[in-house]
Structures are given as C-alpha cells and as structure tokens.
Structure 1
C-alpha cells in the first residue's frame, strides 16, 4: 500500500479522543445506574416478596418503554436499524422480562425456555441491525424471518405450557440454550459497542453496553452454579436492572435528539476535507460534543430532514444536480481565425 494511502486510512490519536470521551461518558452513566440499582436492592433487602416483584415490574416497564420509544423513532424516520434494535428490545422485554415479572419463572421450567428463545431472537435482530443487511429486500426478509420464527416458537412453547401445566422440558436443553443465549448476548454486545464507538452511533454503542451488561449479569449466575430461572442474587439482579435502565437511557436520548433535529432543520453544509479514509457510514449525524455525548448523543440512523430544494436538486440558484458550480459557456478565442467557408454548401468557396 502506498505511504500516502496508509496515512489516509490510519487513525490518528486526535481522531481517537472523541471516541474515548463518549465511551467514558457512557461508562460513567452505567456506573451511576448500577449504584442506583445496588442502593435499591439494599433498600428492599429483607422486605416482603412483593418488593422484589416490584423490581421485576420496574425492569419490565423500562424495557417496554425503551422499545416503544425506538419503534416511534423508526416509524418517524424510516430507519431500518432503529426498528430492528426496537424489535430486539421488545422481544427481550416482552417475553423474558414479562415471564420474570409475572412470577412464572421457576428453575428449569418451560417458561424459562420461552424466555431463552426470545433472547436468541433478540440477538438475531440486534446483529442484523448492527452488522447485517440493514436496508433493502434482503434485510427486510432476514429481519422478518428472525422475528416471525422467534414469535412462532415462543407461541408454541406457551401453548404447551398452558395445555400441559407443570410439564418440564429436558434439563440439558434448557441449560444449553441458556449458556448459548447469554454468551451470544455478550458477543453481540461487544460487536455493537465496537461498531457504535467507531461510527459514532450513540444508540448502537449504548445498546451494546446494555447487552454486554446483561451477559455479565447471567454470567454471575452461571458461574455461581444456579440453574436458569432460579432466584437472582444481589449482584446479578442489580446488573440486569442496570442494563435495562441503560436501554431506556439510550432510547430517551435518541428520541430527544430526533425531536430536536426535526424541530430545527438546517440546510446541509459541505463536509470539510478529511485527513483519513471514511470509516463510518453515518447518514446523518450531529456535531459531536461532550454535552451531546452525555445527554442526547448524535442523531445517526437515517433521519430524513427533507429540504425540497436540496433533495430534489433544484437549479433555481444556478447549481446543477451534482451540486457543482454554475455551468459557464466558454467564449470564442478572439485571436482565433474564423473559417469564411463554414456553413456553405460543399464545392462553393467564399468570394474574396
């Protein structure tokens, strides 16, 4: 590779400073949420079991609120990536957290199997939203297949649980799927975290942090030797509540950023020349700042703020559709000799 091209593609230390700064802010927010979850656990320790169920209901409400907010943004902006992240959160909250909040979860029972299948489907949608075919027919078919198959399997498991109450699935199936699901959650979270940090997508980055935290919560349970569906300890319960709260923070921040962008549309300005190769595929992004990283983050997922004169390629200002300068018609050279016989029929010459 030529030396100049290597300089363009390499990341300079100054380019890595905003990435580290936004990641540090997100980790500080995660630490604050974990502290609040631990304090909540200390507050309800030794109280009635209803208090512990209230924590599950709180996590369910936060997860569903995050999914609803992101679904609204996806409908407003037409962003396929946001819609798939909303679907992943909806599967996790609408099945796994619902089973936990309603008290249907027991060690190794069939409802635990339904929640694990929903987590696997959520991971599929998350991977499709982050690294898969986001747009186009292939992306729509893939997301529809993953979501539809997951809901069909969950519905079948729920029908068996209702028709045959007390039926226990094979223990090795539940344990194997549990390990696969939460190991995959950790891998998908790390992938989303890396992709979001590299491209500057705050929603993807924070979603990756949340799923990695969920994986850590269940890793604590698995290492402690507790079976799937057993009562959670203080640390893993606090980590799970922290992860769901992080999903809600990401959804609220992204929703606020979209509303601000739609309220104050501005004409796009030409991007400054970059010293390195383009490493992100953001379609729309706000200017990065420390306050934006802490509160709203960049609007990064295909927000369509349409300006008709700019989108339709209006030529009223003298510019062509390519956005270049007005076309100039060159004038004839005054020192160039003309041809006196131009435009005359062949065989006839001009008279001197």
Structure 2
C-alpha cells in the first residue's frame, strides 16, 4: 500500500509543526489508522493487525499477528493459538511467541479505499492528540497567571485567546466594575483545566484569591523566595482584599516588604487589579492579636476570645467604630474571612450587644499554592 509521498510527508511535517505533537506520535497514529482500515475492509473482527509506515517512500506494510497462549486460555481464536497447536509446526514455540504474517493488499482499488479510510481516522486521532497535548500543556499552568487576548464576548462570558486554545472567563470569575473589550490584553488566573469531549476546557479568573497571591509572588521577591509567607487571603474582588503575611527569617519586615518603598510594590498589584484596595497585615499565632491586625486600618484596644464559640469581641474607640465595621460591614466581614472567626465590634467601655452590622462570620479563604 503506498501513498503520495511528497504530499503525505509534507502533511506529517505540517502537523508536527502546527499542532506541537511529536513526530513519533503522528507516525504511530498513521500506523494505527492503516491497521484499522485493513481490519474494517479485509480483516476479521478481533484480529491483531499491525502496520508499518515508511515516511521516506510513503509505503505501508500490513501484518497479521497470532500470539501463542496457554491451551485453556484462548479468548480470541483469530488472534491467538494454543501452545500445543503451535508446537505441531514449531517445536520451539513458547507462550507469548508471536507469528507475524504479511497481509499487505496488492489491489490498487483497495489502496485508494484504505487510504481514504486511513485519512479519516488520522484526522480524528490527530485532533485527539492535539487536544491531549493542549490539555497537558495547560494542566501544568493550573494555579498560575498567564497572559491572553480577549477574542470575543458572548453574553457575559469572555473568551480569551491564550495561545493554542481559548479560555473561558465566566461572569462569576470576573471583577465587578471591569469592562473587557475585544483584542484587549489581560492577565488571568488558571482556575481549572479539564479534558472534555469537545477538547480542553480552561476556566480562567480575575477574581480568584489565588490571582492576588501570584501577583505578590511576581512583584515581591521576598514572597517568591519564601522569606515572606502569605498565610491567608480574603478578597472581595474589585473592592477590597486583606492579605496576612509572616516572615520566615529574622530581620525581615513582611508587611514592609509587600508594600515596598513609597508603596511601589503594592501599587503595581493594585494597578493590575483595577484599583482594588489591599490591606497587608501581620499574621500572628495569637488569635487575639491576629484579629486585631485583621481589623486594620481601625485601631483595636482589646479583643476578647470565646474559644468554644470561635467568636471574638473587638473593643474600639467610638471614633474607630465605623472604620472597624467598614462600609456595608466590609472591613469586619473580610477580617472574619481572613481569620475564620466570628467577629463582633463594640465601643470600648460598653457591654451592650453589638449591632448586626458589626457582626461577621465567614469561613476563611485559603491562598492557592
């Protein structure tokens, strides 16, 4: 069986170059396709058919393989032979030995039909290989920030060109207030990569807490090196975030490192997030101190801890009350997310029950690794 050598070889080289698939994988796919074409038109169901493709001259050879098995274990009579039967003609036969017979068709008509069948299977399998290659490439980027270009917008879903494929930026993963336009270059966080029947599905985000963590790693050398560790992130994307940090080495100011001289580092992160306010606070093993820091920029006088209820009561001066609670309760809500504790705010010296707006109880958000 032979093919049009120049066009076939050119097609292989083109597939390798355009699709990013290894040449060995392409050749293996072609051989499987030729074997499938033979099995469909001239072979028997269940036969072990193998093919060899010569990329230099464009010829293909087809072989039928019979494998020797234990007498009682024949499951496929057209591809297996019992040891005792094999030894009648081959005394040296052993279990596992393969007998290979060339069955390459000589009929020119078959060659054309088989070539067309092989072509269809090749196209299908090359698409599958391309999908797998794309999936493997982006699977390694899960949890990372990548750059892309807005390709199109359908409804509220943004389709982002990220190289070999298109990622999806759903409304739930967008930042409130951001507007996206076609051909706009944006940075996105890869939330999830899944292989579906339609190919790789790559979920992107601009609002994920992991994006904030990766931006700090990119802009703050101490975070990237590990001398400053991000212990927690609470984020209301597009509005405000709180980031808890701690130094892993003596002599390092974790908050100062993240903010940078004259705020240069934190301003770069804020600019990437369209002006989102970011509070960088000192993490502390002592939960009372940690909660006091988390309520920054408000100044907290004291924090009462109720371990059994996992509840904290923060005391602040009257002029700090609205700052501690925040607009629409945002500051205390983010502090609760960050620490994982319910936090009530009261004015210093009072024992009255806190107002509902001063209460917050939200599970903490873990920064992505």
- Please classify the TM superposition score into its range, dividing by the shorter chain length: under 0.3
* More helix per residue: 1
* More strand per residue: 2
TM-score normalised per structure 1 = 0.22
Bigger relative CO (Cα 8 Å, ≥ 6 apart): 1
State the structure with more CA Rg: 2
